[in-house]
Structure 1
Amino acid sequence: MDRDRDLQQHISQNGGNSRFVSTETEDKKSAKAAVLQKDVGLLSGISLIVGTMIGSGIFISPKSVLLYSGAVGPCLLIWGACGILSTLGALCYAELGTMITKSGAEYSYLIESFGSIVGFLYSWTTVMVLKPSSFAIICLSFAEYASTPFYPGCSPPVLITKCMAAAATFIIVAVNCLSVKWASYVQNFFTAAKLLIIVVIAVAGMVLLAQGETKNFSNAFETSSVSFGSIGLAFYNGLWAYDGWNQLNFITEELKDPFRNLPLAIIIGIPLVTVCYVLVNVAYFTVMTPTEVLLSPAVAVTFGDRVFNPVAWIVPLFVVFSTFGAANGSCFTAGRLAYVAGREGHMVKILSYISPKRYTPAPALIFNGFLALIYIIPADINTLINYFSFAQWFFYGLTAFSLIVMRFTRKELPRPVKVPVILAVVTTLVSFYLVLAPIIDKPELEYLYCTIFILSGLIVYFLFVYKKFTWTHNIMRPITMHLQLLLEVVPPEKNE
């Protein structure tokens, strides 16, 4: 108690920003600075990309992509096109990530190219809505698949599903707060598990094709009726399954040899996922007609029931593994964005603090988990996916455009990886198409709400970042001090 009281007095005297260093740490004079450590190697980097991309999307999105594309043929083409588009975007990010070696992905690149205000609008939207809503969506998908076997013949109660999603959120945040290595081990294990079930489904589909199950492919482009907006919505749902291709850029500062491992992980990870996704969708259509796919509450589970009886339970089990691993990857990277935004002064300072013992951004991780819990309460998965994709692809397009801008404005920056500028042009144009097409085809209020929320960040920026009102500092100072004591975290040191 005396030690805590002395520590509290010391922190208070230094404005709640002193570095809490334990007596043991001082005595040992550890060589490690209070910064995030470079603990993520190539394998873990590939696992993060693949493990975050392969989550709930491939088990939920197939029927949505089919619904908006209209037939089997266009559906498979869109799945392949989504993989190509994700690869183009990721190659642009490989140049940006090796040119600007800061964590935070789009946040760091937008600040460098367009200035503080644009970077703040991205962090405001992403930290407060996009990242936690994505985390919530994946945890809800995990809960749906985990609870379904206990309620045969009917849907699980909503309360049970949401309670399981909340429990998963708590466990994942706890693991990420305790250790970067533990989080990496979890990611590697669940990535291996999800690749296993993907391979099993794909091989089963190839066997069925070889046995002549091709009736659903004979007139693959018939009854296809699509519009400008419906194609955009089909891409939305397909790209939701691919989302995660940029995740490694959020942790550049923790990546071993980023100049080599960042582009290499992208080149290996994304084409691997693309092949897996196309083969899995082909497998689905060898067993189910388009109508059956649309009516199935869980496409992968229906496939397992028809193909793998009496061991059909392995499919929902591995889907649970897949969604849990994706949620872990989402939490891992979301914490780094909040951490970097706090370090830059665009979020409250406590979010930039890290544990001097575990080298994890615990406050940022807990904050992201708390917001995810809020989004779980009223969540409707399809609405969240559309909301997420609309805003996210606006920032993807803006980031790709920043690569073009910095080719002229920041010529002096080293570029260990340099991609043809046409890739950035294509990514920018397609991204803005994905933003505008559904709005033009079918305007909905959710797009307006999203735009209003993004622009409301200008007011927040003016009041709390640009003006820096002293009364907000006086309010946050005691809160920061007590949270620093509770969580045993310190401000980050400069990594020399």
Structure 2
Amino acid sequence: MVAILSLTFGTYFLSGIMNSPSPPLKLIKVLAISVIGILGVINGISVTAANRLNIVFTISKTVTILVIIIGGLVRIGQGYTENLKNSFDGTTNNPLRISLAFYSGLWAYGGWSSLNSVTEELKNPKRNLWLSIVLALSSVIILYLLTNISYFTVMNKAELLSSDTVAMTWGEAVLGPVVRTLPILVSFSALGSATATIYCSSRYFMVGARYGYLPKIFSCIQKQRLTPLPSIMLMTIISIIYCIPTNIEHLIDFVSFVAWVFFGLTFVATICCKFTKAEAYRAIKVPIPVIIFMILVSVYLIIAPVISSPNIGYLIALIIVLVGLIFYYLFVFRKIQPNLMKKINIFLQEFFNLTMSTVNIEA
């Protein structure tokens, strides 16, 4: 996801700087990789700095969206509503064919899963996790819906789908000479999401390592800065590798497919734990009907895209997951720990001044 957001940042930022809807792909990738490295450094240096940067980007994102929404409302008042009439003409209600649309749509709301990864760092998670997810998703759905309506006051469906920089196309029609500022603001929006994703997703690696699913080094935090430095470094490296594919849409489909495989497995594991570990302490409890519903959603989002639009990318994703099972069997189930890995762990702990992280989510 960080790679997608960084490539989006590069596309929009360069579009604004160069005043071109299609900047050079190589330049986009160089900028995206550079930005991932910078964000990794910021997240590794300070949690506070990363959070403050997030706040700045969130404000920028909100201002940008409000500008687009207000501009759209003005155009509706001026009578530019032809693209809003019969807006579902030419679309499909085939449940198999709309599954890929769900990938793109749900990817935009991906923050619902990210919040779970920072439960340990939330104050009063029993209250604030649910509150954050409900309020954030509700507000984002409303804002994104109004933004898309605004886009349709300028473009029809074909024009919107063919545009690489939708906001810039909209801005050329609505903002005129100040259009170049809009793609730059949109790029900052993507950058803010990338910052938040590095912050949240690196915690997955840390917790996974704590339970033995990754080398122990990734469960460590830096003593002075209290950041999960090894996990952030791993997240940064993986994100840079994901910048190699050239098609963002295919990358979204690939990431979404893998994500929903693991979401589905997580939901199944959650419902199993409801029965096998009924007495275990749970800071946050999820009703069983909600879990069952999400399992069904996961099954649909895994199977439907493969049937409706077969793609070699899904097979590659599945192979990567299956290869992961080999590592799980050797290093987790059989608990094989090569001496070289132990030496590397010790060296890295001493070199980066790391210590094991602890858990506290009962507050």
TM-score range, shorter chain: over 0.9
**Mapped pair 1:396 → 2:281:** no
Q: Does the Cα contact within 8 Å between 1:245 and 1:266 map onto a contact in 2?
A: yes
Name the CA distance, whole Å, in 2 between partners of 1:494 and 1:191: 28
Q: Does the Cα contact within 8 Å between 1:228 and 1:441 map onto a contact in 2?
A: no
Shift of 1:349: 1.3
Shift of 1:161: 1.1
Identify which of 32, 37, 50 aligns with 1:165.
32
Distance 1:294 1:422, change over 3 A: same
Name the CA distance, whole Å, in 1 between partners of 2:305 and 2:359: 45
Shift of 1:312: 1.4
Shift of 1:333: 1.1
**Mapped pair 1:179 → 2:46:** yes
Report the AA paired with residue 478 of structure 1.
K
The residue aligned with 1:341 is 208
Distance 1:292 1:427, change over 3 A: same
Equivalent runs, 1:80-479 vs 2, <5 Å? 134-153=1-20, 155-225=22-92, 227-413=94-280, 420-470=287-337, 472=338, 474-479=339-344
Question: 1:288-328, CA deviations, whole angstroms, 9 ceiling, x for partnerless residues?
Answer: 11121122121111111111112112311211110110010
Q: Does the Cα contact within 8 Å between 1:353 and 1:362 map onto a contact in 2?
A: yes
Q: Which structure has the greater CA radius of gyration? A: 1
Report the AA paired with residue 486 of structure 1.
F
Question: 1:347-380, CA deviations, whole angstroms, 9 ceiling, x for partnerless residues?
Answer: 1111111111110011110111112112223443
Shift of 1:332: 0.4
Name the CA distance, whole Å, in 2 between partners of 1:138 and 1:337: 19
Larger mean CA deviation between 446-455 and 245-254 belongs to 446-455
The residue aligned with 2:345 is 480
Name the CA distance, whole Å, in 2 between partners of 1:458 and 1:402: 16
- Give me the CA root mean square deviation: 2.1
Distance 1:177 1:440, change over 3 A: same
Q: Residue 354 of structure 1 aligns to a residue in which SS?
A: strand
Report the AA paired with residue 194 of structure 2.
A
Larger mean CA deviation between 279-288 and 427-436 belongs to 427-436
Larger mean CA deviation between 238-247 and 486-495 belongs to 486-495
Shift of 1:446: 1.7
Q: Does the Cα contact within 8 Å between 1:393 and 1:434 map onto a contact in 2?
A: yes
Distance 1:433 1:302, change over 3 A: same
Name the CA distance, whole Å, in 2 between partners of 1:381 and 1:291: 19
The residue aligned with 2:354 is 489
Question: 1:427-463, CA deviations, whole angstroms, 9 ceiling, x for partnerless residues?
Answer: 2212211111111223222212212221222211121
Q: Residue 163 of structure 1 aligns to a residue in which SS?
A: helix
Name the CA distance, whole Å, in 1 between partners of 2:332 and 2:165: 46
Q: Residue 229 of structure 1 aligns to a residue in which SS?
A: coil
Q: Does the Cα contact within 8 Å between 1:144 and 1:161 map onto a contact in 2?
A: yes
Name the CA distance, whole Å, in 2 between partners of 1:463 and 1:400: 25
Question: 1:376-422, CA deviations, whole angstroms, 9 ceiling, x for partnerless residues?
Answer: 23443122111111121122233334444444344334566655543
Name the CA distance, whole Å, in 1 between partners of 2:278 and 2:347: 45
Question: 1:41-96, CA deviations, whole angstroms, 9 ceiling, x for partnerless residues?
Answer: xxxxxxxxxxxxxxxxxxxxxxxxxxxxxxxxxxxxxxxxxxxxxxxxxxxxxxxx
Any unmatched runs of 5+ in structure 1?
Answer: 1-133
Name the CA distance, whole Å, in 2 between partners of 1:303 and 1:455: 44
Q: Does the Cα contact within 8 Å between 2:42 and 2:49 map onto a contact in 1?
A: yes
Distance 1:490 1:416, change over 3 A: closer
Name the CA distance, whole Å, in 2 between partners of 1:291 and 1:484: 54
Q: Does the Cα contact within 8 Å between 1:404 and 1:424 map onto a contact in 2?
A: yes
Instruction: Name the count of aligned residue pairs.
Output: 361
Report the AA paired with residue 308 of structure 2.
D
Name the CA distance, whole Å, in 1 between partners of 2:302 and 2:293: 14
Name the CA distance, whole Å, in 2 between partners of 1:494 and 1:327: 25
Between the aligned residues of both structures, percent identity stands at 39
